[in-house]
Amino acid sequence: MKTIGRILRIAYTVGVLAAFAASFPLFSHAWAQDSARDFIREIKLFDTVAHYVRMSYVTEVDATELIHDAIRGMLSGLDEHTAFLEADDFRLLLNDTEGSFGGLGIEISVTPEDDTLTVMNVLEGTPAERAGLRARDKIIEIEGESTKGITTREALLKMRGEPGTDLAIGIARVGFADQLDFTITREIIHIDSVPYYFMASDDVGYVRISNFSRDEERSTSKDATKALEELREQGMKKFILDLRGNPGGPLDEAVALASLFLKKKELVVYTGGRSERWEERKYFVKDKPEFGGEPFVILIDGSSASASEVFTGAIKDHKRAVVMGEKSFGKASVQTLIPLASSADADPGPGLKITIAYYYTPDGQLIDGEGIAPDVELEPEEVSLILGKLFAEGYFRIYAEQYHDAHGASALSDFEADPAAFDEFVAWVEERDLDFYPEGYAETLPDDGRQFYLGAMRREEEQLTRMLRRELIREMEGDAAAYRYWRQDDPWIARAVEELS
């Protein structure tokens, strides 16, 4: 069956693209015509193999599964960003790229300590906040169905929907014996691409840009403008734009953000592809910059990708700012989303995400695969293995929640004033038998390696205490306060402030 599937994956998908190329203007007519003979041959091959599988294979095969496997097989030989998406994944991607969707306004995750769907954060001004949902609520039912064993992605698909429609969820909350039932009306939830900004020094502002997005009311460029204007009022003369970990977003928002800092008519980016539509498209600054004078630094790392690389490449080529950090990811290609269902279908059905062009910086550098090199290279902050393990298993978050429950409004001050606070945390971890080492390896160590990881905790006391303090601040004051605290000792921000001094 594997051999047959491999043949089908090669042959069928070639045929699918042949038919698709003839009907969609993305591909040039000449390209389709030149390749028609090869396509016809491969279509015949696929038809022959499909016939034998249908008539002769030992068991009946599912046609949809077989064909979808064939499509995925062909696309697997192309770049990693080209993919066939089933209906649910395609719908989720459409929502994400639009920058808004009908939802409740909560961030959710399946927490590792109890394998339950948990509300991690409730966004301000959203239906969830107005309904009274809280962080740490356990979502045990969605529309009357148990969430036991559900994944975060599956939960998102169930909870997102058309604005104006209702969603019924059941909640388990600490302190309440019975399930709490909520019926919440979905609304457009705006993605905040500029979640944090503050003064990093007396005259240096700091703006975090977590992604690029756009909807009818908000956009990355508008949110950045608002942040920088407010920081100007607070005395900002220079600033830092932090794009570390920024995965990108719409191209026009990268152009719009660059246009805040570059001169009118300067080139931001251009694309190159095989089709006539994408062979070469240039994007220029259309208006005078709103922040054309202040010096600034851009921070990037190995996870900065796509639109963040387009923006950074333009700023760097025009020598408008100093780029600091690590070489960026190197994903700067143009994808288009193509619905594959009939236009008569109400549901979008499956879809194709396909790469059609590459981005180039104003100086002609191909970004894809190459990335943007910083002007000043910085070493990433080292995270100890024990910190990473404790964080991944939710230990800091759980301890902060329990400590806050026990101490109330004075939790943070009590933690700061207690000289035994860290010892208590170590003892708490020890009680829970942390699986720090793989099971087979742990058995070769004295006491299953317990004293080794407890010793590691002692050696990393300062870093672990800082993380505990961050989680307590998050628990009591919210994400923004926790983020600002964590960034106070960020060596990259400190180096950027030094660069601007």
pLDDT of residue 33: 57
Please, what CATH class does the domain formed by 100-190 belong to?
Answer: mainly beta
Arithmetic mean of pLDDT, 194-215: 93
pLDDT of residue 30: 47
Q: Are 186 and 103 in contact (CB under 8 A)?
A: yes
Arithmetic mean of pLDDT, 215-222: 86
CATH, range 196-334+351-377:
3.90.226.10
Arithmetic mean of pLDDT, 341-355: 74
| Res. 190: pLDDT tops 60 | yes
| CA within 13 Å, CB half, 413 | 3
Give residue 18's pLDDT band: very low, low, confident or very high (50, 70, 90). Answer: very low
Q: Are 285 and 258 in contact (CB under 8 A)?
A: yes
pLDDT of residue 299: 98
Could you confirm whether 317 is annotated as catalytic?
yes
Could you give the 3-state DSSP secondary structure of residue 109? Answer: strand
Could you confirm whether 89 is annotated as catalytic?
no
C-alpha to C-alpha distance for 490 and 486, rounded to whole angstroms: 7
- Helix count and strand count (H, E) for the chain: 18, 19
Catalytic residue among 242, 301, 317, 368: 317
pLDDT of residue 95: 63
Give residue 35's pLDDT band: very low, low, confident or very high (50, 70, 90). Answer: low
pLDDT of residue 156: 86
pLDDT of residue 160: 84
Catalytic residue among 193, 201, 210, 306: 306
- Summarised one tens digit per residue, pLDDT across range 62-114 is 888 888 888 888 898 888 888 898 887 787 676 665 555 688 988 898 988 88
pLDDT of residue 97: 56
- Summarised one tens digit per residue, pLDDT across range 383-407 is 888 998 898 788 999 999 999 999 9
CA 452, 455, 459, 464 torsion-angle sign: positive
| Res. 360: pLDDT tops 60 | yes
Residue-averaged pLDDT of the chain: 86
Catalytic residue among 221, 331, 333, 353: 331
Could you confirm whether 306 is annotated as catalytic?
yes
**Beta carbons within 8 Å of 386's beta carbon, 6+ residues apart:** 436, 453, 456, 457, 460, 464
Arithmetic mean of pLDDT, 188-215: 90
CA Rg, the chain, in Å? 26
Arithmetic mean of pLDDT, 298-302: 96
User: Crossing angle of helices 395-407/421-431, nearest 10°?
Assistant: 120
Phi then psi for residue 170, to 5 deg, are: -110, 135
Please state whether beta strands 166-172 and 180-185 pair in parallel, antiparallel, or not at all (unpaired): antiparallel
